[in-house]
Amino acid sequence: MIWQLDLSILTLIVICAFATIMVKDLLSAAIIFGAYSFLMCLLWTEMGAVDVAFTEASVGAGVSTVLFFAAVYQTSRRVGARKSGRLLSKAFALTAALLTGLVLLIAEADFPGFANPFTPASLHLSPYYITQTLHDTNVPNMVTSVLADYRGFDTMFETAVIFTAGLAVIAILRRFKKEARYDLPEPYVISEGYPDTIIRFVARQLVPFIQLFALYVVAHGHHSPGGGFQGGVILGASFILLAISFDFKIVLGIMSERWNVLLGNIGVLIYAGIGFLCLLLGANFLDYSMLSKVLPATDKIMARSHGMLGIEIGVAIAVMAIVVSIYLNIVSHGKYDKGL
């Protein structure tokens, strides 16, 4: 906690947030929102929460911003026409925001101080995980062990939520009839975009290394910040890079719509499947220590570490497929003919 850096980064974040709302052009607002995400990740790194910062960097600053661009590409850059000065709705919004802020401030007075070592959470809960994680599961990264082992149920439903989000985008946007495209609300000059040699060459050289790095992030999540979610999102981002620099159809040839949904399914199935395997072996659901009966030459402690690796792989596969699927749907408005 370095207060000088804290103050400077917080100032930048507040300025970015104001600018995002006040700029009229929607594309520019999306760009400044990308900068806001970058700075948010920096703030969390400076506070010491590296796993959260990694997830924000990959999801918020990377894929979310590209999805905003895809949405603006399919709709318009102009904010919709609204009647000037609806005073009642603005007053209502201001009152609601002020009341919520006031209630939060009053509740915050009851909180213990920042990083106070004598709170109930720091006295009873945290020391258990800090002392017992390496002894119970042989995994040095405490965040990964709490996420994947001690609270593994939660993470399984998070993966299911990601899969449901992919399904929801398909349900809303996917169109199968070959109807005429509607007119954009503005007189844009629509062009096809010529193939760019430099971007194609660099993307072709970089994508294997990006994917290798993503696999490293998934596999090394036990010892360094990382894990299944972050690695899966970076894998998905590599396919988005391919779709942007090459043609849309090339990525559709690699990761077709059928395979996307199937891989999303398989990811959740791997996670729940490992849980059921533990059930069949005679323990609780998602109790990985029973996997030592199936895996050769592991004792109960190492079995928990391997179980965590298994579910991280499941999460990575599901997240990668769903990120690619959501991007393909949004950027082509559900018709799968051409994109950014």
Partner 1 sequence: MTLVVILLTLTGIVFFFATTVGILRFPDFYSRMHAAGKGDTLSSLLILLALVLYNFHEVNLANLLVAIKILLIVVFIFMASPTATHAIIDAGYESDIKPWTKNPEEES
Partner 2 sequence: MDSFFIGIGVALCFLMLLTLHRAIHGPTAIDRIMGVNVIGTKTTILLVVIGTIYHRVDMFIDIALAYALLNFIVTIAASRYFHHRKNLIPKGYGFRFRSEEEK
Q: How many CB atoms lie within 10 A of CB 255?
A: 19
- The one among 107, 121, 180, 190 contacting partner 2 by CB under 8 A: 190
Contact between 62 and 237 under an 8 Å Cβ cutoff? The reply is yes
Any contact of residue 244 with partner 2 (CB under 8 A)? yes
DSSP state, residue 283: S
- The one among 6, 196, 299, 337 contacting partner 1 by CB under 8 A: 196
Any contact of residue 9 with partner 2 (CB under 8 A)? yes
The token pair at 182 is 């509607």
| Interacting positions 278-307 with partner 2 (CB under 8 A) | none
- The one among 17, 23, 215, 295 contacting partner 2 by CB under 8 A: 23
- The one among 108, 183, 191, 297 contacting partner 2 by CB under 8 A: 191
The token pair at 219 is 């596999």
SS3 category, 78? coil
Any contact of residue 194 with partner 2 (CB under 8 A)? yes
How deeply is 250 buried, as exposed, middle or buried, from its count of CB atoms within 10 A (0-12, 13-18, 19+)? exposed
SS3 category, 197? helix
End-to-end CA distance of the chain: 41
Question: In whole angstroms, what is the distance from residue 59 CA to residue 335 CA?
Answer: 25
Contact between 190 and 298 under an 8 Å Cβ cutoff? The reply is no
Least separation in angstroms between CB 76 and partner 2: 10
Contact between 319 and 233 under an 8 Å Cβ cutoff? The reply is yes
- The one among 114, 186, 205, 282 contacting partner 2 by CB under 8 A: 186
Any contact of residue 200 with partner 2 (CB under 8 A)? no
- The one among 142, 146, 170, 210 contacting partner 2 by CB under 8 A: 210
- The one among 115, 206, 262, 294 contacting partner 1 by CB under 8 A: 206
Question: In whole angstroms, what is the distance from residue 163 CA to residue 167 CA?
Answer: 6
Least separation in angstroms between CB 264 and partner 1: 29
How deeply is 187 buried, as exposed, middle or buried, from its count of CB atoms within 10 A (0-12, 13-18, 19+)? exposed
Contact between 330 and 173 under an 8 Å Cβ cutoff? The reply is yes
Least separation in angstroms between CB 254 and partner 1: 22
Contact between 325 and 68 under an 8 Å Cβ cutoff? The reply is no
Cβ nearer to partner 2, comparing 70 with 317 = 70
| Interacting positions 29-88 with partner 2 (CB under 8 A) | 31-32, 34-35, 38-39, 41-42, 45-46, 48, 50, 53-54, 57-58, 61-62, 65-66, 69-70, 72-73, 77, 81, 84
Stretch that binds partner 1, among 4-12, 37-45, 200-208, 260-268 (CB under 8 A): 200-208
Q: Which of 197, 202, 64, 226 is nearest to 139 (CA)?
A: 226
Question: From partner 1, partner 2, none, which one binds at residue 154 (CB under 5 to 8 Å depending on kind)?
Answer: none
| C-alpha to C-alpha distances, 294 to 144, 158, 301, nearest whole angstrom | 23, 27, 14
Any contact of residue 255 with partner 2 (CB under 8 A)? no
Question: From partner 1, partner 2, none, which one binds at residue 205 (CB under 5 to 8 Å depending on kind)?
Answer: partner 1
Contact between 228 and 312 under an 8 Å Cβ cutoff? The reply is yes
Question: In whole angstroms, what is the distance from residue 330 CA to residue 174 CA?
Answer: 9
**Contacting residues toward partner 2, per CB under 8 A:** 2, 4-5, 8-9, 11-12, 15-16, 19, 22-25, 27-28, 31-32, 34-35, 38-39, 41-42, 45-46, 48, 50, 53-54, 57-58, 61-62, 65-66, 69-70, 72-73, 77, 81, 84, 186-194, 199, 203, 210, 213, 217, 220, 224-226, 230, 234, 237, 240-241, 244-245, 340
**Where do contacts with partner 1 occur on this chain (CB under 8 A)?**
196, 198-199, 202, 205-206
